[in-house]
Amino acid sequence: MSGQGFNPFQMAQQQFDAVAEKLGLEQAVRDLLRWPEREYQFNIPIRMDDGTYRVFRGFRVQHNDARGPAKGGIRFHPQETLDTVRALAMWMTWKTAVVDIPLGGGKGGVVCDPHNLSMREQEQICRGWVRQIVRNIGPYQDVPAPDVMTTSQHMIWMLDEYEKITGIKAPGVITGKPIGLGGSLGRTEATGYGVVYTIREALKYLGLDITKTSASFQGFGNVSQYALQLYNQLGGTSIAVSTWNHKEQKSFTFRKKNGIQFDELITITNKFGEIDKDKAQELGYEILPGNAWLEEEVDILVPAAIENQINKDTVSLIKPTVKIIAEGANGPTTPEADEVLKARNIHVIPDFLANAGGVTCSYFEQVQSNTNYYWTKEEVLSKLDQKMTSAYLSVLELANKEGVYMRDAAYMISISRVSEAVKLRGWV
């Protein structure tokens, strides 16, 4: 998905190969880690509301489970491909390793567009997805979660189907569930808040006062919404947000130079994170082209939509004022663009570190579900802050010690942890 000719799996392998070389990894370890351990592809036949039948394509890729059960979300997207899911599964392995939680990496998807599906049809897809993979997921095998265009509602349908088939209550099989049905307080906020915990630490490191900084965001889905909310609460000024417009099939940037208020923007945002153009105009937002978010004269950029957004064609749009790029999305920056950011000395908080708050909280959810004892929101968020802060500081320390780019330092930590696990297990 996301761009002609762009293959996220090739990008993920390219990133891995470069660091494997730097670390001098043995050939067998490289061969094992540059491909997923297991991949499943299947059909999901559904009876539509009008009585006709349609068949959707589903995937689950388990990249690596040496450090614990595979873990990662399920995306519903019309341009989903096996290679996208492979890349995202691989990035999940590095993500769980960089925050040092006892889980591996996996990802799933269904080629479909929820914009054009009723809730009943989406429920059938969720249940059909579980029926096809039920033997290969589970609290001790592989634990799915929400991702692009899937929510707690999808997760509870999936859990329900799993429990119906297996005949047991197993809330630990899936995370991102609704509160009261095995979900964790703080899970909804976790990814966005996690992004801001790392921004807060990066600002301290750079000696910048957050209240004197400004930021521009791409996307206004779950990650961006809570990132913007917490960034504002800590005193930062959010200038611009860019979102997809399904009706016009292109994106737009919404700008308020004196600062966007979360409570206002959320009232004109639909469940897919798309901002209503007409209502935005009435509320005094300037409406600019989709890429304008990247051209703002801000201190911080937060790409929190999809892959391949900061690439060789767009990287030159970034203004000299930008000091930090905190990647809320998975894979938003290509290796070509990375070279430019490195040369410009922009402090990049790489995706699998910056957005690890979601899976970290999923891990907390799993612990709570498996023990059937639930924590307060304060407890969850303070544990999340600790995990994110210490992961960020470890990456920063290594980057400074070795004189390497933040993304390379994060990769070095993750790949070392995973390669140690596969070697200790005697796999290679």
Catalytic annotation, residues: 107
In terms of Cα–Cα distance, which of 94, 43, 202 is closest to 421? 94
Q: Which is nearer to ligand GLU, 93 or 243 (CB)?
A: 93
Site string for ligand GLU, 117-146 (x = CB under 6 A): ----------------------------x-
Select from 25, 85, 90, 359 the one that contacts ligand GLU (CB under 6 A): 359
Give me 302's structure tokens: 């937060």
Q: Give the Cα separation of 28 and 109 in Å (integer).
A: 29
Q: Does 72 bind ligand GLU (CB under 6 A)?
A: yes
Stretch that binds ligand GLU, among 153-161, 238-246, 282-290, 351-359 (CB under 6 A): 351-359
Determine the residue with CB nearest ligand GLU: 73
Pairing mode of beta strands 300-303, 324-326 = parallel
Rg from Cα positions in the chain: 20
Mind giving me the DSSP string for 53-90? EEEEEEEEEEEE-SSSSEEEEEEEETT--HHHHHHHHH
Query: How far from the centroid of its chain's Cα atoms is residue 139's Cα?
Result: 21
> Considering the complex, what minimum distance in angstroms separates the CB of residue 411 from ligand GLU?
16
Q: Which is nearer to ligand GLU, 70 or 230 (CB)?
A: 70
> Considering the complex, what minimum distance in angstroms separates the CB of residue 226 from ligand GLU?
13
Select from 124, 175, 229, 269 the one that contacts ligand GLU (CB under 6 A): 175
> Considering the complex, what minimum distance in angstroms separates the CB of residue 271 from ligand GLU?
17
Stretch that binds ligand GLU, among 158-166, 352-360, 394-402, 419-427 (CB under 6 A): 352-360
- Binding residues for ligand GLU, how many (CB under 6 A)? 12
DSSP code for 138: B
What's the one-letter identity of residue 37? E
Q: Give the Cα separation of 195 and 392 in Å (integer).
A: 10
Stretch that binds ligand GLU, among 46-54, 71-79, 291-299, 412-420 (CB under 6 A): 71-79
> Considering the complex, what minimum distance in angstroms separates the CB of residue 328 from ligand GLU?
10
Stretch that binds ligand GLU, among 36-44, 70-78, 214-222, 231-239 (CB under 6 A): 70-78
Q: Which is nearer to ligand GLU, 306 or 315 (CB)?
A: 306
Select from 337, 358, 380, 392 the one that contacts ligand GLU (CB under 6 A): 358
Q: Which is nearer to ligand GLU, 190 or 346 (CB)?
A: 190
Pairing mode of beta strands 250-255, 237-245 = antiparallel
Select from 73, 114, 182, 350 the one that contacts ligand GLU (CB under 6 A): 73
Q: Which residue has the tokens 């960089």?
A: 98
Select from 152, 330, 334, 419 the one that contacts ligand GLU (CB under 6 A): 330
Mind giving me the DSSP string for 245-264? ETTTTEEEEEE-TT---HHH
DSSP code for 416: H
Q: Which is nearer to ligand GLU, 95 or 256 (CB)?
A: 95
Count of CB atoms situated within 10 Å of the CB of 212: 11
Give Cβ neighbours of residue 47 (< 8 Å, ≥ 6 apart).
53, 124
Q: Give the Cα separation of 418 and 424 in Å (integer).
A: 10
Inter-CA distances, 269 with 237, 248, 317, 397, Å? 19, 16, 27, 39
Count of CB atoms situated within 10 Å of the CB of 209: 10
Stretch that binds ligand GLU, among 42-50, 77-85, 113-121, 354-362 (CB under 6 A): 354-362
DSSP reduced 3-state for 178: coil
In terms of Cα–Cα distance, which of 188, 226, 220, 218 is closest to 302? 218
Q: Give the Cα separation of 349 and 132 in Å (integer).
A: 37
Q: Does 63 bind ligand GLU (CB under 6 A)?
A: no
Q: Which is nearer to ligand GLU, 95 or 255 (CB)?
A: 95
Report the site for ligand GLU in 28-47 (rule: CB under 6 A): none
Q: Which is nearer to ligand GLU, 280 or 310 (CB)?
A: 310
Select from 71, 86, 127, 154 the one that contacts ligand GLU (CB under 6 A): 71
Q: Does 77 bind ligand GLU (CB under 6 A)?
A: no
Q: Give the Cα separation of 371 and 407 in Å (integer).
A: 35
Residues that bind ligand GLU (CB under 6 A): 71-73, 95, 145, 147, 175, 330, 355, 358-359, 362
